[in-house]
Every structure is written in C-alpha cells, then in structure tokens.
Structure 1
Amino acid sequence: MQDCSILITRPEPENTISCERLKNIGAQPIPLPMLEIRAIANTQEKAAIRSQIFNISEFNYVIFVSKNAARIACEWLDDCWPMLPINVHWLGIGQGTTQTLIEEGIPALSNPGNTSEALLSWLKPVKMTGQKILIVRGVGGRTILGDKLEEKGAKVSYLSLYERKKPEYHAQTFFMLPDINLIWVTSGENLSNLSEYVALYKPEWKTLPILTPSIRVNQQAKELGWINTSCANGADDNSLIKATEFYTGKQNDRE
C-alpha cells in the first residue's frame, strides 16, 4: 500500500479517522466525503426523539444500523439514561458500529457479517414473535430489516436520528485532485452521489478499481458503469484495508 493514492468517500467524522489510519501505514488518502451526516435539529423532532429515548427500556432489542446511528444515539442515551436500562439486547450492524457502541459503554453484540441481510440470517434461529424491536437509523433508511423482522412476528419501531445529504462540489474540486489509484465507497447512497459527480467531471474514474462494502453495493456499482469493482465484505477500515492490501499485492505481482 506504500504511496497508494486512495479516494476516501465516507462521511465525516469517519473520513478523517480513515485518512489518519491510512497515512500511518504509508498510503496517500484523499478525502472527498460523498455524504453529509446532520443530526436532527428541528425542535419538535428532537422532542419526539427524547421521548423515544426515555422509553427505550420497553424494547427487547435495539439495533443500530451504522456508526453514525451509534454515535448520535450514545449522545442521547448519555443525556437521558445515567445508567443503561437492563434487559435490552443492543445490536450493531457491522464491527465498526458495534465497536463504537462498546467504546461508549454499551455492551453491544454484532453479527458475523456487515449487512442487514447478514443480521437477519444470524437472528434466524431466534424467536421474534411478540418481541419489541427498535431500529436506530437515519431518516429514510432501508426498510428490509424491519420488514423481515415483522414477518417473523416482531413489533418494529424506528428511531431516526440524522439526515443524509449530498455534499455540494463544483468542477474545480475534482480538477484540483491529484491522481487516484483506488476508491473506497462505504454505502449505496455514498456510491450513488459519487457516480453522479464522476459522470459530470471525471468519467475516466469509472475504470479505476473501486472497493465496495457488500455484494449488494458491488452489484450496484456494476450497474452504474464501474468496470473494476471488488467487494471488501465490510465498510469498516479493517475490511477495506485488507481488500486494498490484496489489490495492491496483485498489482505488485503483475509488475
């Protein structure tokens, strides 16, 4: 990975963290977030969130779909619950999300995979009939997890803590970037926003190797015209670094 120039498109604050880690192992990260995460700021909506947080002890399972969901939820929990409620099963989708919860003192578990589909497979043997489940996410997130859990008889509620916005960039931003060897994307929405900008300003990037977090997003990349896609099997730094090392190793072997 020495001197490999990698475009990092994950949102802040995770973008900065990923860039620092890559610098420490000799790579050349180039930050260009393709999502902005904005915590809910509307007074009325915040009052509704507070009410749900105070009632969180009513749930058997609380599932966090992302690191941002975990990070913002922890701020609310610290404010509303000096001591965490007991008898709640805390679950994070992906190692990064779960680690964020653990670092904040929440005894979360994670399924072996990194997607909603993997979590559903992991929970397949668990009896869900009548179980109350809270899914913590951003506004307008995917519903497949909740839909499938309801099919198993669970009572699903949602807690939306943030909005995802497409950052505003202009042509100059892209023309000023150095040469790129590799691209990291960490979600389908992240990929969609990048693809729109690439179509406008950098169509040649469609031939660059791009690492995706899941089979679903990898297929999405192919459908959007990306030629050289690889699945890292995770959106966390460890998974993406491992996939990057594999790619750069193959390139070195060819040389």
Structure 2
Amino acid sequence: MQDCRILITRPEPENTLSRERLSALGWETVPLPMLEIVPIQGTNQQLAIRAQVFDIDEFDYVIFVSKNAARMACEWLDSCWPMLPEGIHWLGIGQGTTQALLDEGIPALSNPGHTTEALLDWLKPVKMTHKKILIVRGVGGRPELGQKLEEKGATVSYLSLYERRKPNYSAQTFFMLPDINLIWITSGESLNNLSEYVNQHKPEWKRLPILTPSTRVNQQAKEMGWINATCAQGADDNSLIKATESHIGKQND
C-alpha cells in the first residue's frame, strides 16, 4: 500500500489533516488544494452576519453544510452567545462536520449518510411545515437542500460565512508534481477546478483512478471525461480511506 501516491485536493486545513492521517497509514500524499476557503471580510457583511447570529434563536433547525461552515459559525456563536440558545436542532451534513460541532460543545446530530441527498432522505418523516431553518454555508452554495425543505413547507434562510475560490496554479506547478496513482476529490466544485487544470496541463490524469464523494459528483466526473471514477460514498477521510483500500486491493489481486 506504500506504493500508492495519492493526490489530495481538499482545501486547507483539511488537506493537511488528511495527509497527516494517510501518512500515519504509510501512504505517500501530494497536496494540491482545488478550493481556497476565504472568510467573509467586508465590514458591512460582517455586521450582517453578526445580526443573523444574534437572531439564531428564532430558528427550529440550523444545518451546517461543511466543516468550514461549522468552524466559522462556532467562532461567531462564541462571540454572540455566551450560552447556546435552547430549543434548536443542530444538524451537520456528514460525520466530519458534526464532529467539528461536537468538539465545540454544540449538541449536533448527523444523518447516517454524508451528503445533502442523504440528509434530505433522513428528514423525510419529519414534519417541516411552518418550521424555520437556517442553512450555514459558503456564498453561492448548492440550492437543492433549501429548495427541498421549502417544498416540505419550511421557511429557509441562509447564513453565508465564506467564499470558495479557485486556487491560482501555473503550468510549472503541474510540471514539478511527482507521479501520482490516485486522486481524492471531495466536491463538485473542486472537480470542476481540477478538470480545468488537468485539461490544460495534465490530460493524461483523466485515465487515473479518481475517488468522488457522491453519486452525483461521480456522474459529473464521468461526463467530464474521467474514465476511472469511483464513488466513495462520502467526502470524509474514513469513506475515502475505505475506497482507497478497496482500490489497492483490486490492483493487487
């Protein structure tokens, strides 16, 4: 398994954390983040965020779509709420996001799956009519979650805490990279950014095995010309490690 060199495309700080875990397993990794996470900085925007956080007790559910959303929201909650408001259902999409909330003392629950679709399926039996829901995310996140909850009769608001940007890499960056054997991708947006660079600088990578977090992103990868895409059924390290072990096992058969 030590012969598998894995390209990790997570944004920081998750990229470093994943690489540390894989290094402990004896795997070699190459960092190449395909998203930059930039906190909202504008004065007026931060004032608007603070106002929303002060009003968070008006919501029945608060849903966090990522670990970045969870971490940044916890900082705002610490500054605005010395004690957490009661009566709110705190939900994280995926075990990693939920654990980030639990680590900060927020009694969050998580659906058994790791995706928006899995969360929606988990919430199917829950009556959402007249419920107020806050979705904590980055600017311009996927609309499906909010739309489906509104179809169930909920009133949905959004708290956007960060922007996602495409990193700026040169041709030399790709020229200097070592050979890789496997790629981890953890979102559709990261896949888009990686594909643009690969089309320019590393078209041969389209033949490499690439692990994706969901059926949706896996189909997206195939449509973009990745001929060896496999769904890992989650964007968390555990899911991707399991899928990596399965891939290596098949290679060694």
Q: TM-score range by the shorter chain?
A: over 0.9
- Paired with 1:21 and 1:211, the residues of 2 have a C-alpha distance of 17
- Paired with 2:211 and 2:28, the residues of 1 have a C-alpha distance of 16
Q: Which position in structure 2 is the counterpart of 1:65?
A: 65
- Paired with 2:98 and 2:220, the residues of 1 have a C-alpha distance of 25
Could you report, residue by residue, the CA deviation over 1:167-224 in whole angstroms, capped at 9, with x for unpaired residues?
0000000010001000000000000000000000000000000000000000000010
Q: Which position in structure 1 is the counterpart of 2:149?
A: 149
Q: Which position in structure 1 is the counterpart of 2:99?
A: 99
CA contact (8 A) 1:134 1:156 kept: yes
- Paired with 2:186 and 2:244, the residues of 1 have a C-alpha distance of 14
Residue-pair matches, total? 253
- Paired with 2:125 and 2:22, the residues of 1 have a C-alpha distance of 39
Q: Which position in structure 1 is the counterpart of 2:140?
A: 140
- Paired with 1:74 and 1:232, the residues of 2 have a C-alpha distance of 29
- Paired with 1:121 and 1:134, the residues of 2 have a C-alpha distance of 18
- SS of alignment partner, residue 158 of structure 2: strand
Which residues of structure 1 form unaligned runs of 5+? none
Structure 2 letter corresponding to 1:55: D
Instruction: Give 1:113 deviation, angstroms.
Output: 1.0
1:214 aligns with 2:237: no
- SS of alignment partner, residue 6 of structure 1: strand
Instruction: Give 1:2 deviation, angstroms.
Output: 1.8
Q: Which position in structure 1 is the counterpart of 2:201?
A: 201
CA contact (8 A) 1:62 1:90 kept: yes
- SS of alignment partner, residue 101 of structure 1: helix
- SS of alignment partner, residue 183 of structure 2: strand
Q: Which position in structure 1 is the counterpart of 2:115?
A: 115
1:85 aligns with 2:85: yes
CA contact (8 A) 1:3 1:26 kept: no
- Paired with 1:4 and 1:237, the residues of 2 have a C-alpha distance of 16
CA contact (8 A) 1:93 1:116 kept: yes
Structure 1 letter corresponding to 2:113: G
Two-structure CA RMSD over aligned residues (Å): 0.6
So what's the TM-score if we normalise by structure 2? Answer: 0.99
The alignment-based identity, stated in percent, is: 77
